[in-house]
Each structure stands twice: as structure tokens, then as C-alpha cells.
Amino acid sequence: MTATWSTDRIADQTGKTAVVTGANSGLGLVTARELARAGATVVMACRNVQKGDAAAAELGAQVPEARLQVAELDLSSLTSVRSFAGAPEVGEVALLINNAGIMMTPQEKTADGFELQFGTNHLGHFALTGLLLERLGRAPDARVVTVSSLEHKAGHIHFDDLQLAHGYDPRKAYQQSKLANAVFGVELDRRLRAAGSPVKSVLAHPGYSATNLQSTGPTGVMKALLAVSNRVLAQGAEQGALPTLYAATAPDVEGGEYYGPDGFRELRGRPTKVNVIAEASDPAVGQRLWEASEELTGVAYGLPSVPVS
């Protein structure tokens, strides 16, 4: 890992299939493009298939040799997650990039009755990963890369009210969901190691990157503030996707690691190893969230838990 790492250093991905959630725009679009450029077959998992098809056409023009497939995936619906995981075009998977997300939305519920941000950002990806895990285990150097956020640092898992039915706040809900992503990535690594699985669970975050998250989720004053800070502080999606791409492809990456930008306060820069907050790496928190997630989604991984001392 060096300060000069860029996408032209991505190792050959020929023969690998990568699933990228939210691949039709922003960080997911860049991630899909660069994995395809490196030779991977990329399944672009998108909530809106029309937008996915348009994005695939755009990528095809940029990377004529790209092998792309568009498949419908709505992470706010467990029915959609199961349908996607069972689709014939989603065969053996070497890379699963849990990238899609929503940010600071008004209080809403998923199709299954979960708080929208927790249900989409965490539970949807938890279910998807569990349903694809057996296929991931067949591929050499298989990796699950879960995209968290700097906002996880201010988050807390509210086990007494996971759906935030009492005292909902859009940013509080987003922070909880991104902390849940971090807790999940670390706990998945623990369980994979305990099972002797070769699959690696890795975490990444994009720093402060300007994407459509800031304009499609928040409302009111927050939306206006983010519009200004996007212009002043944010880096572009091209830079923001680098930690995810590094976590997915670099040969020195180990399970349980977390990658983000190397600049001031991890806001921007080249990929480097960073740290999650203590709550994210607490085995007791990991076990409790895992058990709650299996119960809520009905997806059981069959991986051994790690005793909490």
C-alpha cells in the first residue's frame, strides 16, 4: 500500500465474478467499471433495472471489453434479496461489494417493516451475504467488502430500539446503519476464521465523497448544508471508490481490515488501513447484532459464533 496506489495497479481479475450493489451510480458505478476494466465479470445489482441498463451501456462505451450483467436487487425487500440470490445469472461469486445505501431519509419502513436505513443498509446486505456465502466459498481469494462510513464513528447500536420507533432522527438512523455495517464486517471475519473459511470479510469507507446520496436522502436544512459542503470539502466518486477497490483486489489485504482515505481526518486521499470505533470491534456487540440480524431476516449463516470472554 502506497500513497500512489491507483486503479491501474488493480491485479488481473479475469475469471472472477463480482457482484456490486448499487452499481448504477456514484461509488458503485466507478467500482463496477474498474473491476470490469481489470477483467472481472460484473453483476450490477440495481434497484432500478432501467437505470442499471443505462449505466451498463455507459460502462460498455468506456470499457468495450467489459462483461456486464444487470440484475434487479432492492435491498429494502427481503423477497427481492432472495430472488436476486437465486437468479441463474448470479453463479459462482468471487467478490461481493456491499456498496449500496441510502442516507438520512425521513422516517419510513422497508417492505418487511424495518426502519428504512437500518433495513436497507445493514439487514439487506446481511441477508444477501448469507445467501451468497456458500458460492463465495468456492472461489479462490473470495472477498466480501462492506462499505461503511465516517459517520459510523458517531453511531450506536440501539438494541432496545433497533427500528428507532422512539425518537427517530435521520442522521442518528444513518449512523446506526453504518455502524451496523462495520460491526457486521468485523463479526463476519471472526466467524469465517473460526470456521476455517478462506473467504475474507473486509471493510472500506469512501471518506467524504460527493455522490447522489447527499441529494436524494436528506431533506430541508441538512440537504442544503450537504449541497454546500459537497462543493467545498468533498472528493469525487473516482477517488472515493479507491478504498473499496483496494480492499477488493490488493494482494496484501487481510480479513477484518478496514480501508479509507489517508488524508486529514480520512476525508479524502489514497487508500490506507484505518480503524473502526471500539463498539464496532466489540465481540459482545457483534454477537448480539448477528443474532438479531439472523432473527429479523430469517437468514442463518451456519457459521460458528466466537465465545465472548
**DSSP of the chain:** --TT--GGGPPP-TT-EEEEETTTSHHHHHHHHHHHHTT-EEEEEESSHHHHHHHHHHHHHH-TT-EEEEEE--TT-HHHHHHHHT-TT--S-SEEEE-----SPPS-B-TTSSBHHIIIIIIIHHHHHHHHHHHHTTSTT-EEEEE--GGGGG----TT-TT--SS--HHHHHHHHHHHHHHHHHHHHHHHHHTT---EEEEE---SB--THHHHS--HHHHHHHHHHHHHTPBPHHHHTHHHHHHHH-TT--TT-EEEE-SGGGSSSSEEEE---HHHH-HHHHHHHHHHHHHHH-----PPPPPP-
Handedness of CA 76, 84, 145, 21 (dihedral sign): negative
- When pLDDT is cut at 50, 70 and 90, the band that residue 306 belongs to is confident
Region of residue 164 (phi > 0: left; psi between -120 and 50: alpha; otherwise: beta): left
pLDDT value of residue 222? 52
Q: Look up cell 476494466; give the residue.
A: 37
pLDDT value of residue 214? 46
C-alpha closest to that of 62 among 22, 27, 90, 35: 35
Q: What is the per-residue pLDDT across 219-278, written as a single tens digit (0 to 9) for each? A: 554 544 544 444 545 578 899 999 999 999 999 999 999 999 999 899 999 999 999 999
User: Does residue 204 contact residue 258 with C-beta atoms inside 8 Å?
Assistant: yes
Q: Residue 83 to residues 65, 86, 105, 188: CA-CA distances in angstroms?
A: 28, 5, 26, 23
Q: What is the mean pLDDT of residues 154-178?
A: 97
pLDDT value of residue 100? 97
pLDDT value of residue 236? 86
Which of 3.40.50.720, 3.40.350.10, 3.40.50.410, 1.20.1250.20 is the CATH number of 7-297? 3.40.50.720
Q: What percent of the chain has pLDDT over 90?
A: 84
Q: How far apart are the first and last CA of the chain?
A: 34
Looking at the annotation, which residues are catalytic? 174
pLDDT value of residue 78? 98
Angstrom distance (rounded) from CA 306 to CA 271: 30
pLDDT value of residue 232? 45
C-alpha closest to that of 83 among 129, 126, 131: 131
pLDDT value of residue 25? 94
Domain ranges of the chain: 7-297
Look over the chain and give the mean of its residue pLDDT values, rounded to a whole number: 92
